[in-house]
Amino acid sequence: MRIHAGVRSDVGGYRDVNQDAAFASPFAAAVADGVGGGPSGDLAAAAIIHKLITVRGALTSAAELVERLKAANWDIGAHIRRDAALAGMASTLTGVWLTADEALVVAHTGDSRAYLLRDGVLVRQTRDDSFVQALVDRGLGRPEDAGTHPRRNIITASLGGNDEDVIRVETRDARVGDRWFLCSDGVTDYVPEDALAEIVRGVTDPVRAAHAVVDLALAAGSRDNVTAVVCDVLDEQPDVAAVPLIAGAAASRWTEVIEAGLAIA
């Protein structure tokens, strides 16, 4: 099995810096979103993505991914220890990884999302770690109001270089023909899920689908950075040497890494 993906990230019309970062390879894909209001969120998101693309190939197990994520989170902490002005920077992370035994691992913290399109039905696979989601869980708010809630940007979990940071890692079955859709909240806060489902289901090429999602979010007036990754699971041999696609903050920071052999989406 391998992943064939389309990736796109846009700073949007209301932000000066893109704090989203994303990547896709034949084995994995992920979206990270620097925590809004914190210092250097773009650095946090880019640091995570750059760490996760350094090792290529399918996972041997979910435990291997946990170690990679710990290392990525340690890197964020290292930046903060070197420069106290960065204290408080953090990032969400939502991604999927293929394993050597043809399963799939989903990792998630924060409010970036993962959806699975299987048999024509798009189903959300992650729960937002957010203040608004906590209200919904307690019956104090409606899911359809989450995008307009004044405190919708407050998240309750992220990667900020701390030992106590929590990220959920779950193993799922992987099926040829599955399509995984990952995005930042700059998409889901402004575009209804039924509209997203129409694109993810109806646009067959993953590259065109990712671009269409971002275009729709921008047309809807998203006031955030906007990032989408659309991943098809194919019954093909992966190319271990294939160049990962990167976008957003991961592409704009550390250009020497890009020049060493990464493709900008």
Residues 199-242: pLDDT tens digits? Answer: 999 999 999 999 999 999 999 999 999 999 999 999 999 888 88
Domain assignment of residue 259, yes or no: yes
Q: What is the pTM of this model?
A: 0.89
Q: Which residues pair with 33 in a beta bridge?
A: 20
Output the domain CATH number for residue 12: 3.60.40.10
Domain assignment of residue 146, yes or no: no
Domain assignment of residue 101, yes or no: yes
Domain assignment of residue 150, yes or no: no
Domain assignment of residue 136, yes or no: no
Quick one: tokens of 205? 């090429």
Domain assignment of residue 152, yes or no: no
- Structurally, how many domains does the chain consist of? 1
Residue found under tokens 């650095």: 43
State the residue range of the domain holding 201. 2-123+158-264
| pLDDT reading at 115 higher than 70 | yes
- DSSP letters, 131-189, are HHHHHHHTTSS-GGGGGG-TTTT-BS--BSS-TT---EEEEEE--TT-EEEEE-HHHHT
Domain assignment of residue 82, yes or no: yes
- The pLDDT tens digits of the residues spanning 146-159 come to 556 555 566 677 89
pLDDT attached to residue 259 = 46
User: Rounded to an integer, what distance in angstroms lies between the CA atom of residue 31 and that of residue 216?
Assistant: 18
Domain assignment of residue 218, yes or no: yes
